[in-house]
A and B are shown apart, each in its own frame.
Chain A
């Protein structure tokens, strides 16, 4: 039996407590995704109430419904095209005037609207007394009070939703903003042409369209243009009306309309709201005296960031170690139980290792997003942006980009997921694209190995310079992109500084859990599959002949030395011979491994890309290391261990790898170029998956191509300058 289903859309200004209401309505039954085609987050949930199944869609928080930002377009399109049964507009009751601006536009769209005056307690404590009944009468819309953080008024809201959804929209009762005689006359003219061209449209819609056309709204104009006939007449009438109004008022019609809307709101507020003379005590302002203080603002900010890093990457290390040892226990068990062979290798080295590389990130992500939710829900994030904007704006970014950039030094995956705190799509894309240049902690082992080998004594300085190189490249890239591919998408900064609030535990947990689920579900699969693919490429095709051949050689060496040993007379000779034998076997192992690797798909790809890497001084073996680094950058080290020092790292240790590298014709220039390449070249699989998930396949491909190109150019430059100096 299908229960009656109702769809409601939640609209409202940012910071109006919309998310809290959404959480109160739907609890944990949420689905987080993206709106089709854009990088704006879409949240949906359902609630069962009195036999009704109510689907709740959370629209992006907006101040208006113009066509000028992605968020506003998304909200508007959903209301117009998906026809939700009820639109619930969440308003901050303590800041009603500005919040009602969006409401006037929703009323104009002719939707079944409910106004929710949220944070009613704050309003009351500020001495704001709202006569809900009168306000409801004046606006022609039902009004409900809620206190989101205490979950008050949720039942009443649901009751109202069912009541309103059951009613037919009463056209007579709709109270429009009246725009004054002159504008109304012009609206009438445009409306007349619209009705002539499209008699099938409802009167709400034609009225709304007339207003939008007079406002010069590009989407409305586009729609009218698409009509098969009559569209030109409508646009003609619009143009005339706009010219006429500009002549009278010497002002753009869209400004006149905005002013009239605010005038209408002010009229309603004057009647329905009484503000007592009692001086409001603004705690928020007092907190800000300290937190954005000229002297203490930055130190406090740095402390918070430091604390967040400590929690995420230091505290997070404990659960990460548990997961790590748990995974090795499971891997150990699996390799004991399973019979030797390909299946075992696939499960242990391919799948289980892949799963491990996914869930190892989970503690970081959960802790970090708990912290970020805390910063956001308290209102501190806006202050952080306020503090940092000067610096970030210079780079071409928004103040809020700072935190994702910083997190990037820990791990780019949560950093990219954290860009959701940015409101404008352009800032989000730019911040994500340059984020991988923040050298994450997985790249550090590579620097430590290489710098430690070739720049002994000044390894610290060299590694620092690599980090610095990343930052400089990020700044240059940001400036390049904001002047080219992202040009013209720049949004005004204008940012509300919401009052400080005590966050609800529930909302923090939901936020944290959301990110965890997104990571496991949407990215986990990709990372897992990728790890298995790299494993397959590095294993197949197998050539048992190699093993036999080298086993034979090994046997020969052993027998030769066994004979020599038996003939040796002194103890010293014996130890020298033993050493010689070990060395010979080690060399043999290296050769065996290299030959085996060269025959695998990975090795063959390495050989194929060798000509491209040659100008940088890299050969196919470095190619293989870099390819395998795609799974996770720290893998570069272990792959080099396998290739250069024969056998696994645990057995031979880093020392022998260093020795082996030194024996290769690695010089300082090549070593530095290699580190730079590891820093810049295509981010790891998890990061690439995160980029795709946040801003889509197109930008992901762009990022991969760009980073490879940049890595090549920078490494080439370094290599050649280095050689020139030498």
Chain B
């Protein structure tokens, strides 16, 4: 288990927890960042922040400081 912000471009992870109790958590939940959801790191912005993610078939960007609070279980590429 590690923060989403530690994943690299092209990595995948499954959401385990969101370590935040405020507006960020609510926003993430309603955008579909639920436990068990798979996330793909599409890319980081040219200045390394924010990052672009794909989940549930759509693209979303998160600041690195926000992604730090999303804990994921990395998925190893088997396919």
The 0/1 profile, CB within 8 Å of B marked 1, for residues 489-506 of chain A is 011111111110000000
As a 0/1 sequence over residues 15 to 32 of chain B, the CB contacts with chain A under 8 angstroms (1 = contact) are 000000101111111111
Most buried by B among A258, A491, A498: A258
Question: Do the beta carbons of A97 and B50 come within 8 Å of each other?
Answer: no
User: Do A66 and B46 touch across chains, with their CB atoms under 8 A apart?
Assistant: no
| A235–B57 CA distance with the chains assembled, in angstroms | 39
Hey, which chain B residues are within 8 Å of A390, CB to CB? Answer: 45, 47-50
Question: B45: which of A63, A284, A387, A491 is its contact (CB, 8 Å)?
Answer: A387
- Would B45 and A389 count as touching, CB distance under 8 A? yes
Q: Is the CB of B59 within 8 A of A496?
A: yes
Q: Which residues of B contact A389 (CB under 8 A)?
A: 45, 49-50, 61, 63
Whether the Cβ atoms of A496 and B58 lie closer than 8 Å is yes
| Docked-complex contact B32 and A98, CB < 8 angstroms | yes
Q: How far is the CA of A462 from the CA of B22 in the complex (A)?
A: 47
Could you give, for residues 27-60 of chain B, a 1 whenever the CB lies within 8 Å of some chain A CB and a 0 otherwise? 1111110110000001101111110100011111
Query: In the complex, what distance in Å separates the CA atom of A293 from the CA atom of B52?
Result: 12
Known: A66-B26, A389-B63, A492-B24. A298 touches B31 (CB 8 A): no
Does A681 have its Cβ within 8 Å of any Cβ on chain B? no
Instruction: Write out the residue numbers on chain A whose beta carbons fall within 8 Å of the beta carbon of B31.
Output: 63, 98, 494, 496
Given A98-B58, A259-B35, A494 and B46 touching (CB < 8 A)? no
In the assembled complex, A514 has its CB within 8 A of some CB on chain B: no
The answer to whether B60 and A497 have CB atoms under 8 Å apart is yes
Q: Does B62 contact A (CB under 8 A)?
A: yes
Evaluate contact between B26 and A254: CB separation under 8 angstroms.
yes
Name the residue on B nearest A62 (C-beta).
B30
Closest to B52 in A: A497
Q: Which of B26, B56, B63 contacts A98 (CB 8 A)?
A: B56
Nearest CB on B from A220, distance (A): 15
Interchain nearest-CB distance for A567 vs B (Å) = 80
Contact partners of B27 in chain A: CB under 8 A:
63, 491-492, 494
Docked CA distance A494–B67 (Å): 10
Specify the chain B residue showing the minimal Cβ separation from A252. B21
Q: Is the CB of B47 within 8 A of A68?
A: no
A292 to B46, CA, bound (A): 7
Give every chain A residue within 8 A of B42 (Cβ-Cβ): 285
Q: State how many angstroms separate the Cβ of A699 from the closest Cβ of chain B.
A: 22
What are 23 sample pairs from A and B whose C-beta atoms fall under 8 A apart? A66-B26, A66-B30, A68-B23, A97-B32, A97-B56, A252-B21, A258-B29, A258-B30, A258-B34, A262-B32, A288-B43, A292-B43, A294-B46, A297-B46, A298-B46, A387-B47, A399-B50, A492-B66, A493-B50, A496-B61, A497-B52, A497-B61, A498-B59
Please name 18 further chain A to chain B contacts, defined as beta carbons within 8 Å, in addition to the given A98-B58, A490-B23, A493-B61, sorted by A numbering: A64-B26, A66-B26, A94-B57, A95-B57, A97-B32, A101-B32, A258-B30, A284-B59, A292-B46, A293-B46, A389-B50, A389-B63, A390-B50, A491-B23, A493-B50, A494-B62, A495-B50, A497-B60
Closest 5 CB pairs of A and B: A390-B47, A64-B30, A497-B59, A492-B24, A258-B29
